[in-house]
């Protein structure tokens, strides 16, 4: 029985993680649930899964959650510090980080220091501080299991191959809702169009990132750290059907691919079940429904975010942290109709040029870079 802490249980990945746990009641037990503000859902999840403890990040919901869960003997905490320290609980066997954005960094760092294996869904943590996170994981002797479908695919291709060097990885991208569109057409796209992803049903932030190709950019940097690669070993190919989730090419030229219908429950479950595979009732892929799988080059001139992420990944230091913070602000403002779709990379470039470069950042530098970037991004937008 694995006792799981789910950070961000009310989001898309969090909810699907609970579905996976529901299907495997003899394998997993919910130990901790956390949310930002969605108190009603946290309460109903807790009534069903009976965690030992919960955290609601936003203090104003403490009373409501406490009143509902205290009678059930569930410990209730609130605030950022509680989120960061809850991961140290002795009874946690694995921490699934499904928080959105930079907010995942400190709890993940603390979980690794407490020697908890990580099921990593929060890619921004790896983007911001991949060098530090992988170093801490090594020092503490814990594994980081990818939940992101592309990285799970690569991980699955590597099982049995851990001593064979990777020549390159090929990250697949759906291309999002605006694949094939020109810059002119993108100037006037709306938030509703951007939120309408063809293959995956996800949270708002990642859906916008998919439309701008920033999601793939973040995944390039995530792959660099998870698998110890150079940027030159990472290729992005657009594959609109989202059936091949990514590929690994070895030194003999052989390519392994991991395939299946797009369903996040599979990579979530594998991150929790590794090295085993548990039976599922998920819908199976049928080749007759997909007579052709197609591939094309990403258009990085139109979708500049992907090119920016490659540049930033090469430069290193605190640049990925700047890119991430600027993107978080730009996406938020796009979702509030404050900026247009094509202005998102403008905000990011502005911040990369303005925030001072730090070659070997430590935790405190990331905290400061993140703060400074958000201020500059907001100034630029207003």
As measured in angstroms, the least distance from the Cβ of 214 to Mn ion is: 12
Q: Which is nearer to Mn ion, 149 or 324 (CB)?
A: 149
As measured in angstroms, the least distance from the Cβ of 88 to Mn ion is: 29
Q: Is the peptide bond before 208 cis (omega within 30 degrees of 0)?
A: no
How many residues sit in the footprint of Mn ion (CB under 5 A)?
Answer: 3
Stretch that binds Mn ion, among 15-23, 145-153, 172-180, 364-372 (CB under 5 A): 145-153
As measured in angstroms, the least distance from the Cβ of 97 to Mn ion is: 15
Stretch that binds Mn ion, among 57-65, 142-150, 174-182, 314-322 (CB under 5 A): 142-150
Residues sharing a CB contact under 8 Å with residue 131, sequence separation 6 or more, in sequence order: 225, 316
As measured in angstroms, the least distance from the Cβ of 154 to Mn ion is: 11
Q: Which is nearer to Mn ion, 282 or 357 (CB)?
A: 282
Q: Which is nearer to Mn ion, 92 or 248 (CB)?
A: 248
As measured in angstroms, the least distance from the Cβ of 237 to Mn ion is: 14
Q: Which is nearer to Mn ion, 65 or 96 (CB)?
A: 96
Q: Which is nearer to Mn ion, 97 or 149 (CB)?
A: 149
Q: Which is nearer to Mn ion, 51 or 176 (CB)?
A: 176
Chain residue whose CB lies nearest Mn ion: 148
As measured in angstroms, the least distance from the Cβ of 13 to Mn ion is: 11
Question: Listing from the earlier edge strand, what are the strands of the sheet with 75-78?
Answer: 75-78, 53-56, 28-35, 2-7, 94-97, 118-120, 144-146
The angle subtended at Cα 79 by Cα 104 and Cα 45, nearest 5°, is 75
x/- track of binding to Mn ion for residues 94-133 (CB under 5 A): ----------------------------------------
As measured in angstroms, the least distance from the Cβ of 199 to Mn ion is: 11
As measured in angstroms, the least distance from the Cβ of 217 to Mn ion is: 11
Q: Which is nearer to Mn ion, 29 or 97 (CB)?
A: 97
Stretch that binds Mn ion, among 113-121, 133-141, 148-156, 347-355 (CB under 5 A): 148-156
Q: Which is nearer to Mn ion, 148 or 370 (CB)?
A: 148
Identify residues 150-169 at the interface with Mn ion (CB under 5 A).
Answer: 150
Using N-to-C axis directions, what is the helix angle for 12-23 and 39-49, rounded to 10°?
Answer: 10
Tell me: does residue 148 bind Mn ion (CB under 5 A): yes
Using N-to-C axis directions, what is the helix angle for 319-335 and 304-315, rounded to 10°?
Answer: 150
Stretch that binds Mn ion, among 3-11, 20-28, 36-44, 141-149 (CB under 5 A): 141-149
x/- track of binding to Mn ion for residues 222-241 (CB under 5 A): --------------------
As measured in angstroms, the least distance from the Cβ of 374 to Mn ion is: 24
Q: Which is nearer to Mn ion, 148 or 333 (CB)?
A: 148
Nearest to 46 by CA among 19, 65, 21, 27: 65
Instruction: Please tell me the distance from the alpha carbon of residue 130 to that of residue 87, in angstroms, as a whole number.
Output: 19
Stretch that binds Mn ion, among 36-44, 79-87, 144-152, 289-297 (CB under 5 A): 144-152
Stretch that binds Mn ion, among 26-34, 108-116, 147-155, 323-331 (CB under 5 A): 147-155
Q: Which is nearer to Mn ion, 116 or 151 (CB)?
A: 151
Residue numbers of the site for Mn ion (CB under 5 A)?
A: 148-150
């Amino acid at each position: 029985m694995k006792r799981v802490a789910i950070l961000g249980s009310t989001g898309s990945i969090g909810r699907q993680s609970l579905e996976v746990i529901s299907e495997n009641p003899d394998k997993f037990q919910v130990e901790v649930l956390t949310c930002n503000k969605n108190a009603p859902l946290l309460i109903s999840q807790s009534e069903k899964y009976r965690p030992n403890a919960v955290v609601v990040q936003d203090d104003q919901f403490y009373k409501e959650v406490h009143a509902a869960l205290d009678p059930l003997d569930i410990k209730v905490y609130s605030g950022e510090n509680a989120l960061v320290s809850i991961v140290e609980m002795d009874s946690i066997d694995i921490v699934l980080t499904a928080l959105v954005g930079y907010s995942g960094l400190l709890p993940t760092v603390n979980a690794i220091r407490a020697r908890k294996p990580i099921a990593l869904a929060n890619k921004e943590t790896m983007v911001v501080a991949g060098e530090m996170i992988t170093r801490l994981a090594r020092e503490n002797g814990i594994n980081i299991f990818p939940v992101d479908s592309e990285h799970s695919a690569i991980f699955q291709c590597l099982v049995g191959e851990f001593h064979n060097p990777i020549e390159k990885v090929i990250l697949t991208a759906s291309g999002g809702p605006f694949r094939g569109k020109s810059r002119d057409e993108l100037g006037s796209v709306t938030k509703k169009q951007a939120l309408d992803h063809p293959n995956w049903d996800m949270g708002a932030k990642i859906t916008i990132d998919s439309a701008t190709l920033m999601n793939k950019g973040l995944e390039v940097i995530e792959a660099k750290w998870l698998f110890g690669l150079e940027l030159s070993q990472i290729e992005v190919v657009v594959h609109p059907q989202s059936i091949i989730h990514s590929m690994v090419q070895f030194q003999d030229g052989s390519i392994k691919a991991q395939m299946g219908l797009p369903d996040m429950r599979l990579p979530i479950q594998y991150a929790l079940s590794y090295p085993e595979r548990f039976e599922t009732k998920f819908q199976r892929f049928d080749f007759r429904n997909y007579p052709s799988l197609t591939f094309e080059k990403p258009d990085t001139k139109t979708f500049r975010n992907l090119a920016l992420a490659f540049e930033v990944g090469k430069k290193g230091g605190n640049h990925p942290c700047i890119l991430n913070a600027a993107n978080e602000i730009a996406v938020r403002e796009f979702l509030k109709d404050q900026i247009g779709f094509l202005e998102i990379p403008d905000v990011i470039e502005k911040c990369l040029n303005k925030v001072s470069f730090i070659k070997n950042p430590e935790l405190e530098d990331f905290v400061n870079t993140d703060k400074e970037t958000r201020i500059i991004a907001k100034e630029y937008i207003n």
